[in-house]
Amino acid sequence: MGHNYIGQTKFEFLSDDRLTKNNRYALQSIYTQELRPGLFIGWDINSASDKSYFNDFSHSIIQHPRKFLNQEFNIKYNQPSWKASILASHSQFFKEFSSQRNPNLNWLYDRLPQATITTSSSTHGFNLVIDAQYTHFKNNHSPENSSSFFPSLGDRIYINPQLSYHVNGSSYFITPKIQVNASHYDTVLKKPRQLNHSHSYSRIIPTFSLDSGLIFKHVIKYFDSPITQTIEPRLFYVRTPYFDQRQYPLFDSGTIEFNLPHIFTENLYSGHDRISEENQLAAVITSRLIKKSREEFLRFSIGQKIYFAQHCSLIKDTTGNAIGYSDLLLSESGYITQALSINNTAQYSQRKNQWMHAHSTIRWRPGLKKFINLSYQLDRDEFIPVVKNSKYTKRFSLSAQWPLSHRWYGVTHIGYSWPKKAVRDILIGLEYKADCWTFRVVGKSTMVKSLTHTKDLNKSISMQFELNGLSSIISN
């Protein structure tokens, strides 16, 4: 660590493992340095000798399996009106394909390199932003017979100029915006016992959006204290014409989850490979409760989309949203008291007259290292074959951490699945914290996913002894 750089490197090595008969290692290196004002270099390198290394030599009692390790090097230059970056990334995969031999999409392609530049300028209420990017994609993990969706090699040039005009008042705002998504692709498909096939694709797709909102305020009494309540209606219209992109490659795009934070987006897909056809209006009403100190402590929101045209999904071969209304989205979050907080989200289908998704959490945190969580989760479109006439999942969970005495701490988690009417997982742990050493013991029981035996359990007990004075290599 220095005045303009910081880094950390960990390396572990085991020579001639008696079990695998190989040398085994793990490397983690993170570094960032400012070479001059605005100019940064850095890397994030993770590597291991084999997929079982982190389970065999874990520094944590609870270890999750890793599908890949990312290795990245970047150079960034930031200025007030523009910024540029060059990135090179590679992924070490431990599970390249699913059981059906479908490629895993997360970090599937290496980017060697990816160059990005973004400029912005504002004058007289107008705001101009231009995003441009060039990426060379390389896939060493694809099947031998690659398709147009997942080519072996590809170059993509992407440019997205956006012009918006902001009209802001004390109780309203209006923001019209127009943008153009322009992309060009050059891809290479590998075919077994054939010559490689090259393809080129180009598209230019305009998008218009109009964002507007009002803010109403008044003072109410809340437990005999004056509280400011706001009512904030917001309308967001998007229009994007249809463009056939079914043969275009999928380097980094995926569907965005339908929820309130993403309801004000112009594109239903992440990444730059798919631009969704849109002719829709999003309407949301939010109400907030604000203290005298201007601290927000409760928020309520309800929102819905109105579709004026039907569009088709560009990633899966299914029909997209029909003309009409989307599901209703509801949200509530904040603090009831200083120690008691809530977080509720829900999705309700008016057509099916049922709740599609719901997640509710109540947290009580009365003091330091003291908390109790109670949560409920409903997912309607998850199908469980072993449960008759069941197309939903309901899960309840209880988790807590509490000091038991001066040096003893306890932690527990219990998860219950309603369709299976069984406890999914139980975790009970104890920790003794001395001045220079710590001892932990955790017992865990987890239901194994199986189509024939729904109540098979995987049970384990783990113990850990840590010398605090020598090093601090694990998280608390």
What are the tens digits of pLDDT across the range 420-465?
A: 777 888 999 999 998 889 999 999 888 765 444 455 678 888 888 8
What is the average pLDDT across 178-185?
Answer: 96
CB burial class (10 A; 0-12, 13-18, 19+) of residue 244?
A: exposed
For the chain, which residues make up each domain, given as ranges? 377-476
What is the average pLDDT across 289-308?
Answer: 90
Q: What is the CA radius of gyration of the chain?
A: 27
Q: According to the model, what pLDDT value does residue 328 have? A: 93
Residue 67 pLDDT > 80, yes or no?
Answer: no
Question: pTM value?
Answer: 0.81
Q: According to the model, what pLDDT value does residue 312 have? A: 63
Please state, in angstroms and rounded to a whole number, the distance separating the CA atoms of residues 28 and 475: 16
What is the average pLDDT across 136-149?
Answer: 68
Q: According to the model, what pLDDT value does residue 388 have? A: 43
Q: How confident is the model at residue 224 (pLDDT cuts 50, 70, 90)?
A: confident
Q: According to the model, what pLDDT value does residue 215 have? A: 95
For residue 201, list its beta bridge partners: 185
* DSSP tag of 52: T
Of 121-130, 154-163, 242-251, which gets the smallest average pLDDT?
Answer: 242-251
| Range of 223-227, 283-287, 293-297, 316-320 with top mean pLDDT | 283-287
Please state, in angstroms and rounded to a whole number, the distance separating the CA atoms of residues 72 and 28: 11
Q: Phi and psi at residue 419, in whole multiples of 5°?
A: -60, -40
Q: According to the model, what pLDDT value does residue 319 have? A: 36
Nearest by Cα to 385 from 464, 451, 315:
451
**Quick count: other Cβ atoms within 10 Å of Cβ 453?**
11
Structure token digits, residue 199 = 């393809």
Share of the chain above pLDDT 90, in %: 51
What's the distance, CA 317 to chain centroid?
24
Q: How confident is the model at residue 293 (pLDDT cuts 50, 70, 90)?
A: confident
| Range of 144-153, 194-203, 336-345 with top mean pLDDT | 336-345
Q: According to the model, what pLDDT value does residue 337 have? A: 85
Instruction: Tell me the pLDDT of the chain averaged across its residues.
Output: 85
Please state, in angstroms and rounded to a whole number, the distance separating the CA atoms of residues 287 and 400: 31
What is the average pLDDT across 223-228?
Answer: 83
Q: Helix (H, G, I), strand (E, B), or coil: what is residue 241? A: coil
Please state, in angstroms and rounded to a whole number, the distance separating the CA atoms of residues 52 and 66: 9
What is the average pLDDT across 224-240?
Answer: 92
What are the tens digits of pLDDT across the range 69-104?
A: 889 999 999 999 999 999 999 888 776 555 444 555
Higher pLDDT, 91 or 204: 204
Which residues have C-beta within 8 Å of that of residue 462, sequence separation ≥ 6? 61, 62, 440, 441, 442, 444
Q: According to the model, what pLDDT value does residue 246 have? A: 82
- Measuring CA to CA, how many Å separate 408 from each of 143, 413, 432, 465? 53, 17, 5, 14
What are the tens digits of pLDDT across the range 346-375?
A: 999 888 888 889 999 999 999 888 999 999
What is the average pLDDT across 370-387?
Answer: 73
b/e map 178-190, b = 16+ CB within 10 Å: ebebebebbbebb
CB 151 within 8 A of CB 178: no
For residue 75, list its beta bridge partners: 41, 86
What are the tens digits of pLDDT across the range 4-47?
A: 999 999 999 999 999 888 999 999 999 999 999 999 999 999 99
Which residues have C-beta within 8 Å of that of residue 109, sequence separation ≥ 6? 137, 138, 139, 154, 251, 252
Higher pLDDT, 413 or 420: 413
Q: According to the model, what pLDDT value does residue 130 have? A: 97
**Quick count: other Cβ atoms within 10 Å of Cβ 449?**
9
Q: How confident is the model at residue 202 (pLDDT cuts 50, 70, 90)?
A: very high
Q: Phi and psi at residue 56, in whole multiples of 5°?
A: -75, -30
Of 188-197, 396-405, 431-440, which gets the smallest average pLDDT?
Answer: 188-197
Residue 384 pLDDT > 70, yes or no?
Answer: no
